[in-house]
Amino acid sequence: MWKRSGFGSVGNREEVTLHKEPRQSCKIHKQRSEVPRCPFPGCPNGTEAGFIVGRPPITTDGDPRWYFERLRWPEVNGRYTYSWWTTDSLLIGQVEDVVLDSLRADHIVNDHLIDPNERFYHYTNVDALLGLLSSKSIWLSDYGFLNDSTEVAYGYNVASTILADLELPYWSSSTDIKRPDQPNFAEMARREQSSLSVRPMIASFTTEPDDLSQWRAYGNVCVGVRAHSVVNTLLNDAMFCPVIYDEQSQRTVFEKFFKFRNFAFNHDADHYSYRDIEKRYLDDQALLLRLASMMKHSSFSPESEIRAAYFHPTGSYLDNGEPIVRYRSRNDLVIPYVSSSDLKNFSHQKEVIVESIKIGPHPQSRLLKSGIERMIADTGADYIAVDVSEIPYRP
Ligand SMILES: [Zn+2]
């Protein structure tokens, strides 16, 4: 169904050798692409050509060429963002990269700014601490079972408010068709507890090493790790970035998301059969979930949370046939989780290195400390510094 367009009038093209993997060619605009030129016009790292003819990095039989066209996406505040569009692919596949790169350029998603040597803290209970030390892995819990169960619902609420305020052009003039570029929030809320095809699995960190509200909310121990130790443990497609608490930033996130998605939809509807793309758009809600899971209400901002989120396809199995999702108990509930050590098959992660353990305000904090010290001495992990919170215990 694809109509190859634009290549009749070629004057303005450049031939380049492509990167093997999408890479950032420009520190100003952040867009990643196989094309080694920034797609923003007038950028010193860019090109004047509107079309790119790409040679693969390694020449193979037939010496194929890939074709890219510079695309202009309408942005918030009347601005535009740009990308290289592979001219024989649906644009919906590019929405995620364009949204995230544009949020990085605006410093709203700042996963690229985290200092690898910065120390982060993970508040948890004793059971989870023992699991973490013995498996040297991070446990990421299903977001439907987090302490604050309204979390993702909060993000969806922000999203639906923003959507209601936006006037988005629509490809079809017919008003009785459900708009596939717009999510069905009621349906998503219904599926939230169990039946999504992708489940966000989350582990929370913070920059606060000794914080009473987090002791109360999450448990009696606080584990210190370096950022690089967490990042190396996670899969490449996991996110590791500060939670977005600021309402203006949350607004910008969803405005970009809906505008870019709407642009992609209208573009795809022009180039392909409506029936094919309608289903693709209705089925593809993963990015919305991803963005919603990075937001919390501003009243939580003192937690300064850095969130690791991995988006887990439901029903996946390990090589030995066991399901990847495991279950543990917390406060007499059953919590589904994945362990980063089980995801090893899919990437090159390393073990997580714990550097410190702090014991929270607790009636038997000395006894808890001495048990932990015995254990780490016996297991050869006595490089871990153990101490007790400065906050006095109050019953
Ligand atoms: Zn640039």
User: How far from 392 is each of 222, 363, 365, 368, CA to CA, in Å?
Assistant: 16, 10, 10, 15
CA of 243 to the centre of ligand 1 (A): 27
| Residues ≥6 apart with Cβ < 8 Å to 43 | 26, 28, 29
CA of 94 to the centre of ligand 1 (A): 18
pLDDT at 2: 35
pLDDT at 289: 83
Q: Characterise 304 by phi-psi region: left (phi > 0), alpha (psi -120 to 50), beta (else).
A: left
CA of 45 to the centre of ligand 1 (A): 5
Backbone angles phi, psi at 280, to 5 degrees: -55, -45
CA of 44 to the centre of ligand 1 (A): 7
pTM passes above 0.75: yes
Structure-block tokens of residue 356:
């410190």
pLDDT at 356: 96
Low-confidence ranges of the chain (pLDDT < 50): 1-10
Q: How many CA atoms lie within 13 A of 219 on its CB side?
A: 20
CA of 287 to the centre of ligand 1 (A): 24
pLDDT at 158: 92
Q: pLDDT tens digit string along 200-231?
A: 888 999 999 999 989 988 889 999 998 888 87
Q: pLDDT tens digit string along 288-297?
A: 888 888 899 9
Give CA–CA dist 290/311, Å, rounded.
Answer: 8
Task: Report the C-alpha dihedral over residues 44, 49, 50, 56, rounded to 10 degrees.
Answer: -100
CA dihedral sign of residues 266, 269, 275, 281: negative
pLDDT at 205: 93
CA of 38 to the centre of ligand 1 (A): 5
Judge contact between 293 and 152, C-beta under 8 A.
Answer: yes
pLDDT at 236: 59
pLDDT at 190: 62
CA of 21 to the centre of ligand 1 (A): 18
CA of 22 to the centre of ligand 1 (A): 15
Backbone angles phi, psi at 323, to 5 degrees: -65, 145
Per-residue DSSP letter, 9: S
Give CA–CA dist 288/278, Å, rounded.
Answer: 17
Give CA–CA dist 338/324, Å, rounded.
Answer: 6
Q: Tokens 């109509």 identify what position?
A: 3
Residue 252 CA to its chain's centroid (Å) = 16
